[in-house]
Structure 1
């Protein structure tokens, strides 16, 4: 072909389809990073929950033994023993549930990478969570709308639809082809012509074709391609709005998560002080056993909430980068540096 505009548009479509494949691969890679990180921290969180349940059981067991001793010597009522026993039975049930949850989380991580780990490196206790860089919501929104993989995928899809509309219209246009033919015919000898002859023909030229009317199929395909292009443009706008929304929500989750970690760290100090005060008050007779049990529960609940908040804050930082299309393997290396090997 010398001039077939349809073929040119089809070639350009191929380039855009490569962009589609690259965007889809990039999105899948980022999703895998987030999923593996989520599964990893789910295991750490489950380990923390189980460890805290066991520590709380030991503390309640000690309080139960003390309540029994005090009852035997007449310095406490049977109510203290019953309250401590009820808390002990409850934490035993919670420990069983925590053990089961840990096994499930380990299996989920194993299903992702095909490996079974006896132990995972925990998060360092001295890790300080830094705010996102840049620390501005609109900057992340702009990045998400410009370079996030869902937007890039839809941009390429829209371009493919636009070229398809042009390709459908080009079916009405004339075409110009280079043609060449070569032929050879032979004539056998006869009575009147005792000598045979061979004739060779060669033709080279240009063939011009102008479609006049080819039925309604081409026109129908043209209208369909135009409609699909309009839909693709609407989908692109929706993808950009969704990218902006995801970036906004994730940015706020990161900022609020870091603030929550700070608040829970302070709450942990206060809960420890409250427990120490209640224990002292119980020893001197100004507090009762249930006060100590409640203070213990508050302390361990705060520890669990702090652990969960730290993991969520790190995961949300990864999700924010994924929303902007900038999550890379190097970000996992940064997370690894926060672990205690």
Structure 2
């Protein structure tokens, strides 16, 4: 292999992306996105908001305490029968009361509300994992896109330099009559095409770098070469099976279905009696005499039986049942979609691996062919166009090889996303993992306070 072939082959292997102390690895990029991506942080905040639905539902078991205080001012004029003057009486009435109300039974609506809120939390946790997987896939894809486009740009820059030298050599040969004006025009045409390809490669790299910054947070520096991720299923059948149980979108649909089923019980609770107990302590002070102060304490049990609610409750029950039916169909659809994505991602992965082997062989063959054509051209059995065609075929093969390497790694990420393992907890990123149970535990048992957590 000639010196130029060795140089180009080293470019394909990612000479600027070889692992070094300063190169950023794929896992480091994934860790950056996990810790700082705003979309992921927003999804965590949304989960913390959903956590608050549980203490809100639990409030149905907790008493309500109310303090009422009234104060007024009055003046009464009382006529005097023995004189022409009357008597004025000034009063400042005050009333203070404290009441406590506790629900004892409400048709199991509190229990249903708690269960529904807990299912909503589990559903949102699964949704967070789905968002996390999307961010991880976007990060990995943009990482590999930058590596691919940098390598393609280097190949095009190298090809442009070679064609520029070849054009100069062809012009020199034209001056001495070894080639025709047509050969020069062909060399000029190929150089112009190489310049256009290089410009296109520069634009593609700029776009990929911007996409990387959008998901990771900063522009890429020196990126290390990345291999396909491990931890993949053994085959397509296993991937489809794992997707049914592990895909976060399936888990979201499962919890939504359970929540919808619980909503039926909550709606039916309005048909049952309700029992409440209320205690009240009242103090009234007229301030007109020492004997004007009164105190009163009472406790009341109320029992309410709904007889007819104008059809509204029945309508809500029917609507809840229809929502449950919808949720079950959504679950079936989510399972089918997950299985389809697993099968498709596996096929893309298998196809990319096969293409990688084929393009590797194509590059080797194209290199040999180019050397042969150049040697034949030196003895006059090949034209300048033949050499240009062989060089273009080698460039195309090398670009295809670079893209195939990117496709294999991205396809492995897609497989892991389909089966639900493209998450930080299973990627060994070496960062502190977000624990959604911390905020949930703190929120569940809070009776007072409006401060919030951010973790």
Q: What TM-score, normalized by structure 1, do the two folds share? A: 0.87
Question: RMSD between aligned alpha carbons?
Answer: 2.6
**Which residue is 2:192 aligned to?**
89
Report which of the two has the higher share of helix: 1
Tell whether 2:105 aligns with 1:3.
yes
Alignment match of 1:331 (pick from 393, 409, 427): 427
CA distance, structure 1, for counterparts of residue 124 and residue 304 of structure 2:
36
Tell whether 2:223 aligns with 1:121.
yes
Tell whether 2:264 aligns with 1:161.
no
In structure 2, the CA distance between the partners of 1:274 and 1:109, relative to structure 1 (3 Å rule), is same
Q: Note the alpha carbon deviations across 1:249-302, whole angstroms, 9 max, x for none.
A: 001111111111111111110010111111111011111111111111111111
In structure 2, the CA distance between the partners of 1:2 and 1:284, relative to structure 1 (3 Å rule), is same
CA distance, structure 2, for counterparts of residue 243 and residue 199 of structure 1:
68
Q: Note the alpha carbon deviations across 1:93-137, whole angstroms, 9 max, x for none.
A: 2212221222222122222233133x322427xx6x588632221
CA distance, structure 2, for counterparts of residue 307 and residue 189 of structure 1:
97
In structure 2, the CA distance between the partners of 1:61 and 1:209, relative to structure 1 (3 Å rule), is same
Kept after mapping to 1: 8 A contact 2:232/2:412:
no
Report which of the two has the higher share of strand: 2
| 1:229-240 mapped onto 2 (5 Å cutoff) | 229-240=324-335
In structure 2, the CA distance between the partners of 1:281 and 1:209, relative to structure 1 (3 Å rule), is same
Alpha-carbon offset, residue 188 of structure 1: 11
Kept after mapping to 2: 8 A contact 1:174/1:210:
yes
**Which residue is 1:320 aligned to?**
415
- Of structures 1 and 2, the larger Rg is shown by 2
Kept after mapping to 2: 8 A contact 1:131/1:255:
no
Alpha-carbon offset, residue 82 of structure 1: 1.0
Alpha-carbon offset, residue 20 of structure 1: 1.8
Alignment match of 2:124 (pick from 12, 17, 21): 21
Kept after mapping to 2: 8 A contact 1:54/1:95:
yes
Alignment match of 1:278 (pick from 357, 373, 380): 373
In structure 2, the CA distance between the partners of 1:9 and 1:285, relative to structure 1 (3 Å rule), is same
| 1:60-99 mapped onto 2 (5 Å cutoff) | 60-99=163-202
**Which residue is 2:251 aligned to?**
152
| 1:290-305 mapped onto 2 (5 Å cutoff) | 290-305=385-400
**Which residue is 1:339 aligned to?**
none
Alignment match of 1:244 (pick from 339, 347, 353): 339
Q: Note the alpha carbon deviations across 1:60-108, whole angstroms, 9 max, x for none.
A: 1232222222222222222111111110111112212221222222122
Alpha-carbon offset, residue 45 of structure 1: 1.5
Alpha-carbon offset, residue 179 of structure 1: 3.9
In structure 2, the CA distance between the partners of 1:111 and 1:186, relative to structure 1 (3 Å rule), is closer
CA distance, structure 2, for counterparts of residue 188 and residue 115 of structure 1:
73
Structure 1 unpaired stretches of 5+:
335-341
CA distance, structure 2, for counterparts of residue 222 and residue 176 of structure 1:
22
Q: Note the alpha carbon deviations across 1:204-246, whole angstroms, 9 max, x for none.
A: 6x54332111111111111111111111111111011000000
Which stretches of structure 1, 4 residues or longer, exceed 6 Å deviation after superposition? 184-190, 194-197
CA distance, structure 1, for counterparts of residue 129 and residue 144 of structure 2:
23
Alignment match of 2:361 (pick from 247, 252, 266): 266
In structure 2, the CA distance between the partners of 1:173 and 1:276, relative to structure 1 (3 Å rule), is same
Kept after mapping to 2: 8 A contact 1:144/1:243:
yes
CA distance, structure 1, for counterparts of residue 320 and residue 337 of structure 2:
25
Alpha-carbon offset, residue 332 of structure 1: 7.5
Kept after mapping to 1: 8 A contact 2:239/2:419:
yes
**Which residue is 2:144 aligned to?**
41
Structure 2 unpaired stretches of 5+:
1-102, 431-455
Kept after mapping to 2: 8 A contact 1:141/1:247:
yes
